[in-house]
Amino acid sequence: MANMFALILVIATLVSGIIWCLDRFMLAPARRAKIERLKVETGGVVDDSTLSKAAKQPGWVETCASVFPVLLVVLVVRSFIYEPFQIPSGSMMPTLLIGDFIVVEKYAYGLKDPITSTTLIKTGEPKRGDVVVFKYPLNPSVDYIKRLVGLPGDRVTYDPSTKEVTVQPACSTGQACTTALPVTYSAPAPSDLVQTFGQANGSEASSGFFDIPASQPVPQDGVRLINRKETLGDVTHNILIVPGARDQIGAYYQQPGQPLATWVVPAGHYFMMGDNRDNSADSRYWGFVPEKNLVGRATGIWMSFKKQEGEWPTGVRLSRIGGIH
């Protein structure tokens, strides 16, 4: 859908731009020449208003010429500078909540062709800890947002019991790594977020996330999530854990030549994880993100609506407007 919109925007800008150029350099001069000719033929008796109507600009040409500058600005800004996105799920909580509207820095890693996503000019490198929007590798028409945990060459290990990550930089497949990136965790603490559960198709499923202060009781069908601060190198952020939840280890992406829950990031690829660790379908389950799929770095929240996944907003969270950490 995102690529289709980009294609439509490019075509609309191109068509209106061609018409704008034709009008400016061919049609408009022809209209002015016609008016001058009519003045001579009528001996100056007919007023300018009447002459202008005799050589009036067609309505469709006027419309295209008027919208072209607007479309051009939108195309340039959306394709190369900033693009807005909405957070539809809770996989990046507590960093990003359902209903947050974020702005993504499109030029953070490179200027790309808006249609083919080919990098035209390299402007920067992704860093561990970046919150990144990318095309979902299994369905590039869908945009995902996760935190970048592993760079090319990193060996990433995830302990499904402690819910902790180990990153060993600059490894190659089959090579034994001895140096690990400093990854530290704070002590678990109750968060203000509660996840409620219901029955769906005979099995338990999440029905929503709610902001309920730790001093208040948890609903009967809810579980208070645990918050920990994760420091990934020099980037510190909060992660959430569901108490007692077990990962579907059997669904993990099994990289050839590596043990389960261990991945060596190939060249030109990245390993992504959601901050809501027990509620995120990420690289643990479907593998790596190619560099060409990167859309940009999420840098700020410009609006936030209080809502649940798939439901209408019930309020506005102005306090959330600001930067992303």
Neighbours of 202 (CB within 10 A): 6
| Catalytic member of 146, 283, 304, 307 | 146
Residue 79's pLDDT is what? 87
- Is the same domain home to 37 and 170? no
Tell me what pLDDT residue 2 has: 57
Could you confirm whether 141 is annotated as catalytic?
no
Among 82, 117, 149, the domain boundary falls at 82
Q: Is 146 a catalytic residue?
A: yes
**Whether pLDDT at 76 is above 60:** yes
Q: What is the pLDDT of residues 156-173, one digit of tens each?
A: 999 999 999 999 997 765
Do residues 277 and 171 share a domain? yes
Q: Within a domain: residue 189? A: no
- 167 in the same domain as 263: yes
Whether residue 68 is predicted with pLDDT greater than 60 in this model: the reply is yes
Who wins on pLDDT, 175 or 185? Answer: 185
* Total structural domains within the chain: 2
Residues 132, 248, single domain; the answer is yes
One domain for residues 70 and 12: yes
Tell whether 92 and 6 lie within a shared domain.
no
Query: Chain-wide mean pLDDT for the chain?
Result: 89
Residue 197 lies in a domain: no
Per the domain annotation, does 157 fall within a domain? yes
For residues 134 and 24, membership in a common domain is answered with no
> Model confidence over 210-219: pLDDT tens digits?
999 988 999 8
- CA 174 vs CA 22, 144, 170, 252: distances in Å: 62, 30, 12, 20
| Residue 281 to residue 139: CA distance in whole angstroms | 13
Most confidently modeled range among 18-32, 188-202, 306-320: 306-320
- Domain range for 72 is 2-82
Cis amide leading into 69 (omega within 30): no
Q: Which domain CATH number covers 266?
A: 2.10.109.10
Q: Are residues 160 and 267 in the same domain?
A: yes
The residue from 89, 91, 280, 304 that is catalytic is 91
Q: What is the pTM of this model?
A: 0.85
Mean pLDDT of 255-283: 95
**Is residue 64 domain-shared with residue 95, that is, in the same domain?**
no
